[in-house]
Structure 1
Amino acid sequence: MRRQLKFTIVLLIVGFMIAIQYNTIQKPEKRDTRDMWAIRNELSNEKKLHSELLSEIRGLDETIRTYESLNDENTGKALKETVDKLHAQAGMTDTEGPGLLIEVEPSPESIALGIEITSISPDLLTRFVNELNRVKWRALEIDGKRYTSLSAIRDINGYTTVNGLNVSSPPFTIKVITDTFEDSEKVYNTLQASAIHDDFYLDDLVLRVGESVDSVKIRGWKESIKNLYLNELPKGE
């Protein structure tokens, strides 16, 4: 009886191990099937993000050193300069510089077939911004809505929005401003060669990228920013 029990236990263990091995063979661990160029592109994006973070850290360190070296008389001036800089980074000030205009329009085929284009999808607009992030730019406006690192592209009640404001039905204009004219040319060349045009065409839209110009104007974000956590202390504290 004991021999049969031991033999049964051994068979159960062997059967369990065979079942695990069979399941592993049938469901192998998921592998990364991306090609070398896709991996290199992702690595390049990560390096760019790393470089931007280092630049921000250096800028904050410089601000701290500036405050530490100031006396009481110059502190107010330094604070104002910092606030102005933060307003510019948040897109709250008007800006002008070299850049280009991009038109988003219904495709000629959709017009000929009478297909009504009511909006651009949030996913497609987000993909466009991600494609634009491959190159250096300073300011971005989508259909009159200022876009910054604090902005969000969402679907609200069936409408595509930027900062909670509805994006118009195509056609509409996207404005891009760069630091230099050479940077704007890089933006132009990158977008012209990008596969993002195919993504727009699949949604019955056309992306018309204008050539670089010396001056593009973008309005600041005029919406008020709600302060949920900071409170002003009474004077003297």
Structure 2
Amino acid sequence: MKKRILTRFTVIMFVIGLMTAMQYNTINEPDARDTRDVWEVRQELSREKQLHSQLLSEISTLDETLNKYDVDTNASPEQALRETAGELRNAAGLTETTGPGIEILVEPSMETVALGFEIEGISPDLLIRLVNEINRYNGLYVSIDDKRIINTTAIRDINGQTTVNAKPVEMPPFSIKIISESMEDSEKLYNHLLSSRILDDFYIDNLTLTVSAPKKDLIIEAYDEVIDTKYLQSTEEE
């Protein structure tokens, strides 16, 4: 009888001890902490503020377009439609664009040429990173090796070769053109690229970026392919 009571007491104490240990670990287990430093948090905040500003700018532009369309429609519906279609074609990259911008020359590093190493093409990942860096600083219109970048552009590897819009990118050297909304935006992008870590990323791949000073009238060619609209559907007015 005593042995049975002792066994039960031992089991009960074991359960109590186990529950106490679990509760202690739960209380003292540290919460996952944000290990980013102040500078990284400030950079993230800056990116979010830039995105917010960009969205507000786009909303304002759309409101202005709607107001202009309402006014022009009352005066001349045909002219309003033509102007709207022209603006949409330009925004979609279907027309040649001229404006303030910069040009980037991508070429093999001097060490690669001097040592006689084989010159390799740019990787899709590196090219995508550069385009993302450009878009962060209001690069409105971009062309890579005379291939216009639009919303449906794909940068990928096809049979071991980097392609833009399914067309192969030439071996370096080749140029990248970027047009911004204003000279001020072009100068900001220019200064950012000169101090960006993307330069080191290119150098690791035996490539260098030479960024030209901002130009007032840079020309970017139009997108020369047919845009696939098979998934688009027209809306009907209620």
TM-score category (smaller protein): 0.7 to 0.9
Normalised TM-score (structure 1)? 0.82
Worse overlay, 199-208 or 80-89: 80-89
AA paired with 2:49? K
Normalised TM-score (structure 2)? 0.81
Number of positions where the alignment pairs a residue of Structure 1 with one of Structure 2: 232
Give how far 1:218 is off: 0.7
Closer/same/farther in 2, CA of residues 182 and 63 from structure 1, 3 Å limit: closer
> Aligned equivalents of 1:209 and 1:48: distance in 2?
23
Work out whether 1:18 is the aligned partner of 2:21. Answer: yes
RMSD: 3.0
The aligned counterpart of 1:103 is 105
Of the three residues 8, 12, 26, the one matched with 2:11 is: 8
**Per-residue CA distance 1:80-108 (angstroms, 9 max, x = gap):** 32222121111111011222221111111
The aligned counterpart of 1:198 is 200
> Aligned equivalents of 2:88 and 2:72: distance in 1?
20
The aligned counterpart of 1:172 is 174
Say whether the 8 Å CA contact 2:124–2:156 is kept in structure 1.
yes
Percent pairwise identity? 47
Say whether the 8 Å CA contact 1:90–1:150 is kept in structure 2.
no
**Per-residue CA distance 1:151-200 (angstroms, 9 max, x = gap):** 33222332222222222221111112223333322222221122211111
Closer/same/farther in 2, CA of residues 202 and 67 from structure 1, 3 Å limit: same
> Aligned equivalents of 1:2 and 1:31: distance in 2?
47
AA paired with 1:162? V
Could you tell me which runs of 5 or more consecutive residues in structure 1 were left unpaired when the two chains were aligned: none
1:59-208 matched pairs, under 5 angstroms: 59-66=61-68, 74-208=76-210
Higher radius of gyration, 1 or 2: 2
The aligned counterpart of 1:49 is 51
SS in 2 for 1:211: coil
Could you tell me which runs of 5 or more consecutive residues in structure 2 were left unpaired when the two chains were aligned: none
Give how far 1:215 is off: 2.3
Closer/same/farther in 2, CA of residues 68 and 2 from structure 1, 3 Å limit: farther
